[in-house]
Amino acid sequence: MKSIIFPFFTHEQVAQCGSASIYFMSYEQTLANLWKLLFQGIELLEENPLGSGAASGSLVEMDRELIGDMLCLDKAVLQPYYATGSRLFALHYLNLLSLVMLEFSRFAEDMILLNSLVPNPLNIPKEHIATSSIMPHKRNLVTMETIRANSSKASGLSFIAQSIYKGLPYGYNLDFQGINDALIDSLDAVQKTLDVVKDFVKGLTINENAIRKYIEDKPCWSSDLVEYIALKSGKPAREVYMVLSKLFNDCKAIDSDCISNALSHFDFSFDTISSIIKNKPIEANIEKLLEEAQERLENDKDNVVKTSLSVEKCISKLLSSSQ
């Protein structure tokens, strides 16, 4: 996707153009950061509440070393009132899961809008498309629509849990079971969405010709042109900006003729400006960024394997002790 020019938006209008790799890597960066936060939260799940009693502790002496080894729990003594009266771990994950779903929802919305703005911009796996019950010409991105709905569900579950929590005095209350239900439902929604997104992206390709035709009459290169001329000529960027701005303002509409006139004023063509875009510093670093993303992914996989092995070891100890 490095060679495919792709539109980037601000204020829901085409702002700049660049490699399609930049678009998809932005989501990789987002999800990598969210994964980091999710993984850090494991420390909360490892807190050992046993021996806390109802609120202020138990008379039973606990072998925390043994219990910690068997249950993969921390061996430190936990404040008992916190252990029974807090559901911070559940709220933490509900909030993070809702953030994950928000990002997936934005991706889904991007796919839907791009498919609406540009004629046939994406080659979408047929399993993710459905027609209308009454209009046979329709090709609706139904799985992306369900992702938006599930994102709203995850946000709602997080809000429900916080609403339950905020009105409770400190200490255990049966209301906590509602928070547990919300967490389980949220995990289910995220898992289903992950399956859909993975399958969608795996089969997705971009129709380069359709995208190129779409951006030909959109000056997504204006800021790049200003910077390029300023860097090459030594003129102040604002001065170049004002010249280009006047050229656009003099047009009745920013269409193909207007854009051709603006480019020819600086002795540029669409192909020339495309070449400038492809040679921006970020474009030169795409391979490096992809390598770093792959390295992050491998490190995350290693962490998952290590955690899984640790849990399996604890389970093995627990089962052997019960025999």
Q: Closest Cα partner for 52 from 89, 78, 88, 87?
A: 78
Residue 316: inside a domain: no
Predicted pLDDT of residue 106 = 97
Residues 126 and 262 in one domain: no
Residues 256 and 220 in one domain: yes
Secondary structure class of 17 (helix, strand, coil)? strand
Residues 197 and 60 in one domain: yes
> Could you give the angle at which helices 20-40 and 286-321 cross, rounded to 10 degrees?
30
Predicted pLDDT of residue 189 = 95
Boundary-marking domain end, from 157, 181, 214: 214
Residues 151 and 115 in one domain: yes
Residue 303: inside a domain: no
**pLDDT tens, residue by residue, 248-264:** 999 999 888 899 999 99
Give the tokens for residue 116.
């609406």
**pLDDT tens, residue by residue, 28-84:** 999 999 999 999 888 898 899 999 999 999 999 888 888 888 888 888 889 999 999
Could you tell me the pTM of the whole model? 0.88
- Point out the least confidently predicted range of 99-113, 130-144, 171-185, 188-202: 130-144
Boundary-marking domain end, from 164, 185, 214: 214
Residue 225 pLDDT exceeds 70 = yes
Residues 210 and 221 in one domain: no
Residue 4: inside a domain: no
Predicted pLDDT of residue 111 = 95
Residues 63 and 192 in one domain: yes
Alpha helices in the chain (DSSP H): 20-40, 42-45, 64-71, 80-85, 88-117, 142-166, 176-202, 208-215, 222-233, 237-249, 256-265, 270-278, 281-284, 286-321
Looking at the structure of the chain, the number of domains it has is: 2
Predicted pLDDT of residue 69 = 83
Residues 105 and 228 in one domain: no
Residue 209: inside a domain: yes
Phi-psi region at 121: left, alpha or beta (left = phi > 0; alpha = psi -120 to 50):
alpha
Residue 318 pLDDT exceeds 80 = no
Residue 61: inside a domain: yes
Residue 97: inside a domain: yes
Alpha-carbon distances of 119 from 23, 200, 214, rounded to whole Å: 19, 19, 8
Residues 158 and 47 in one domain: yes
Residues 56 and 68 in one domain: yes
The residue range of the domain holding 238 is 216-283
Residue with the larger pLDDT of the pair 67 and 93:
93
Residues 36 and 79 in one domain: yes
Q: State the CATH number of the domain containing residue 46.
A: 1.20.200.10
Give the tokens for residue 269.
């063509």
Residue 292: inside a domain: no
CB 81 within 8 A of CB 170: yes
Residue 323: inside a domain: no
CA distance 64 to 77: 8
Residues 195 and 240 in one domain: no
CA distance 127 to 142: 9
Residues 152 and 85 in one domain: yes
